[in-house]
Amino acid sequence: MKRDLRITNNIGSNSIFYKTGIFQTTNFVVYKKKNMPFVNIYLPEVFPRELKNKISLSVHESLMEIFNIPEDDYFQVIHQVSSEDLIFPDCYLGIPHTPNLMYIQIICGPGRTAEMKKSLYSVISTKISERTHVLSNDIIIVLNETSLENWSFGQGKAQMIK
C-alpha cells in the first residue's frame, strides 16, 4: 500500500494513514471511523425516564463533539441505583455532593490527549447541569482507555484488529 500521511497524534507515534482509510500501527490496524466508547451511567433510581434520556444524550453529544465519534456509535447502559447503594461522601476534594450524585464511566480505545479528556469532562458536566436539575458537583466521570484487542462488537470477532 502507498503511504499518504504519517500520523503522530490520536493513534500513536508510529501510525500511518493509508488511502484505503485505515490507520496502521506496529501492532494492529485501527479503522479510522471507529472510536468505540462504551458508557455506564450509575444514577439514583428515582430519576424518571425523561431525565435519564437527557443525561444519556448529553453524554453522547459530548463524545461526538470532543472525541469526534459517529452519531451511531451509541452504546450505553444506565444503571438505576437505590439510595442505600449509591455510596459517596458529603464532600470530597472540597466539592460538596447531594443525593443526586451520579457516576459516568466511559470505556474507550486509546489515543485521546489529556486536553481532550479535560474538555470532555467539562462539556458533559455543562450539558447535564444545563438540561437537568443535577448540579455539576454531582457528576463524577471516570474514563478508562483499553487497547483495541479488548473489544468485540458481535459475532465473536475482534473487529478492531486484523
Amino acid at 115: E
Contact indicator for 150, 28 with CB cutoff of 8 Å: no
Amino acid at 61: E
Residues 6+ apart with CB under 8 A from 25: 11, 12, 14, 15, 16
Q: How many Å from the N-terminal Cα to the C-terminal Cα in the chain?
A: 16
Active site residues: 37
**CA pair distance 65, 69, nearest whole angstrom:** 8
